[in-house]
Chain A
């Protein structure tokens, strides 16, 4: 099925550990995004990539890095996880801002 695929779906990390969240889309979209969702806060933008080869910070980029590996893939890296990064992470893609397709989310717990 066409869409956005995120891995893993669940992850538990210890404080200070690192990990990479993977995201791939097969809709040939130019733009990709990483959001975090916390209770009562809605979705907040971490980083986005308007097109292959470009990335920009969003509202809450501290503690994260991203890589737009190619047009399909956009990964999010936590270099040194902190409990404040416990959240649900969503990857999304769009073509020229008309409709955003989301992945199924990654539930991350940092202990």
Chain B
């Protein structure tokens, strides 16, 4: 069974600084996909970024990038130039290829200070 671990229950960052949110996963599969979602205080789940296990480049979407280290089984989210609106819960998720069911981590709460 696959498992997602987010070891940081809470993180604080100063506005305009970069922050890294950690995610490690445990799977015996070679082919899988990794996702990050943002959940602001309003409650909706917002898709941020996707990384396939065979993708040669680390995924980037605007200020979001995914630091993918396959050998270490880590998929850390990097947010550059943090904004106050980045304050939210962030969830890492994984699904193995051939399965349409993602498994989610427990989340990291990020607070951006002005």
Contact count band on A: 20 to 34
Bound-state Cα–Cα, A50 to B100, Å: 7
Select from chain A the residue with minimum beta-carbon distance to B46.
A102
| Cβ contact within 8 Å between A97 and B107 | no
- Give the residue of B44, B91, B97, B101 whose beta carbon is less than 8 angstroms from that of A42: B91
| Cβ contact within 8 Å between A102 and B100 | no
- In the complex, how many residues of chain B place their beta carbon closer than 8 angstroms to a beta carbon of chain A? 23
Select from chain A the residue with minimum beta-carbon distance to B91.
A42
| Cβ contact within 8 Å between A97 and B43 | no
| Interface hit among A12-20, A63-71, A88-96 | A88-96
Closest chain B CB from A50 CB (angstroms): 6
Closest chain B CB from A97 CB (angstroms): 4
Q: 13 A-B contacts, Cβ less than 8 Å apart?
A: A42-B91, A43-B104, A45-B103, A97-B99, A97-B100, A98-B33, A99-B35, A100-B93, A102-B44, A102-B45, A105-B43, A105-B44, A107-B43
List 19 additional A-B contacts (Cβ < 8 Å) besides A48-B101, A102-B37, A107-B43: A35-B104, A40-B106, A41-B106, A42-B91, A42-B105, A42-B107, A43-B93, A43-B104, A45-B103, A88-B43, A92-B45, A97-B101, A97-B102, A98-B33, A100-B102, A102-B44, A102-B45, A104-B43, A105-B43
